[in-house]
Amino acid sequence: MTAKIISGTEVARQIREEILTEVKALEKMYNKTPGLVTILVGENPASVSYVTGKQKTAKELGFHSIQDNQPMDISEEDLLNLIEKYNNDDSINGILVQLPLPKHINETKVLYAINPDKDVDAFHPVNVGRLVIGEGVFLPCTPAGIQELLVRGGVETSGAHVVVVGRSNIVGKPIANIMLQKDKGANSTVTVVHTGTKDIAKYTRMADILIVAAGRPNYITADMVKEGAAVIDVGVNRIGTTPEGKAKLAGDVDFENVKEKAGIITPVPGGVGPMTITMLMKNTLAAFKLSVNK
Ligand code: NAP
């Protein structure tokens, strides 16, 4: 069997079109569009690139978007005051602070200062709690993107055994919580494995849906996968440089061999990656709707 490849690039394009249509309709009704501010402290090249990508997408979707660049030596107090300013700004629905922050700033304190109703990254404990009890307003972007890929890829999740490799707060734990909700696109039986698990392959082989977020290049080999399983590869690992000087990327799944056994698989790059920014936009749109319906 050769797996059907789900293109995150294509699914993300479809969702962006849907968002754009909705934004245009909302603009007619309310004479304003969703507002997103991305706060960047310092000039870390990777962070600059992420923030630029987010701003570019926000503009393409007709959002009111602000990129707020702050110097590396901004004090924690000034950064907290800046967040408070955006918390109180009615034209802003989503506040995103690009991580990592410089060492003299307490990241947790900063993330907790964001109004949960504007926390479009969904890292605030209020939003984590809402997700766990099944009342999530925003879902964290990468896990939400994984769920969309499954649903739009036609994968039956209800009653499926989902095995998640990794238990980080940004991928493993939230996707496990999303998939176990009694909801459409979820209602699965969930197992989470990590470095403390004995005989990981025993569990991965039982998966109808295998979601891998370990950060280990080509870690999941064909013998660890059940015939016909849906395999979602979240991993993004830099394994060298291309002759053109670009970063060479590998997922956590040995794609070439696993695709001969799986039923459905996502590539790296072009799988989960393109979904993350798109889901950030979806969250900002949701925050906008929340604010106009108040
Ligand atoms: P992380 O914080 O480093 O967490 C990795 C998790 O995997 C940990 O829970 C760790 O277990 C577990 N793990 C590591 N090696 C393992 C092994 N050999 N067997 C079983 N479990 C193992 O990483 P993350 O932030 O979740 O990211 C994971 C990967 O996804 C990375 O490659 C990252 O670049 C990528 N990522 C991609 C996107 C995207 O948009 N495409 C977004 C986020 C992350 P312990 O808890 O026991 O240490």
Can you tell me which atom of ligand 1 is nearest the CA of 194? 21
Whether 264 and 145 map to the same domain: the answer is yes
Asked if 98 is an active-site residue, the reply is: yes
| CA-proximal residue: ligand 1, atom 40 (nearest) | 273
> What is the Cα–Cα distance from 242 to 33, expressed in whole angstroms?
40
pLDDT at residue 208 in the model: 98
Whether 111 and 201 map to the same domain: the answer is no
pLDDT at residue 247 in the model: 87
Asked if 121 is an active-site residue, the reply is: yes
Count of the separate structural domains present in the chain: 2
Whether 194 and 239 map to the same domain: the answer is yes
Residues within 6 Å of ligand 1 by CB: 142, 165-168, 170-172, 193-196, 200, 213-216, 219, 234-237, 272-273, 276
Segment 50-71 mean pLDDT? 96
> What is the Cα–Cα distance from 120 to 118, expressed in whole angstroms?
6
Helices (H) and strands (E) in the chain, counts: 10, 11
- Domain range for 196 is 141-273
In order of 161, 170, 175, 290, the CA distances from 190 in angstroms are 6, 17, 10, 31
83 domain-assigned: yes
pLDDT digits (tens, 9 = 90+) for 74-108: 999 999 999 999 999 999 999 999 999 999 999 99
pLDDT at residue 293 in the model: 86
Whether 269 and 147 map to the same domain: the answer is yes
> What is the Cα–Cα distance from 277 to 134, expressed in whole angstroms?
23
pLDDT digits (tens, 9 = 90+) for 114-163: 999 999 999 999 999 999 999 998 999 999 999 999 999 999 999 999 99
What is the CATH classification number for the domain harbouring 206?
3.40.50.720
| pLDDT, the chain, mean | 97
Whether 158 and 79 map to the same domain: the answer is no
Segment 41-56 mean pLDDT? 94
pLDDT digits (tens, 9 = 90+) for 194-247: 999 999 999 999 999 999 999 999 999 999 999 999 999 999 999 999 898 888
Asked if 55 is an active-site residue, the reply is: no
Whether 267 and 161 map to the same domain: the answer is yes
25 domain-assigned: no
- Please say if the pLDDT value at position 1 is more than 80: no
Identify the three-state secondary structure at position 36: strand
CA nearest to 231, candidates 215, 249, 251, 217: 251
pTM: 0.96
pLDDT digits (tens, 9 = 90+) for 240-273: 998 988 889 999 999 999 999 999 999 999 999 9
Segment 12-18 mean pLDDT? 98
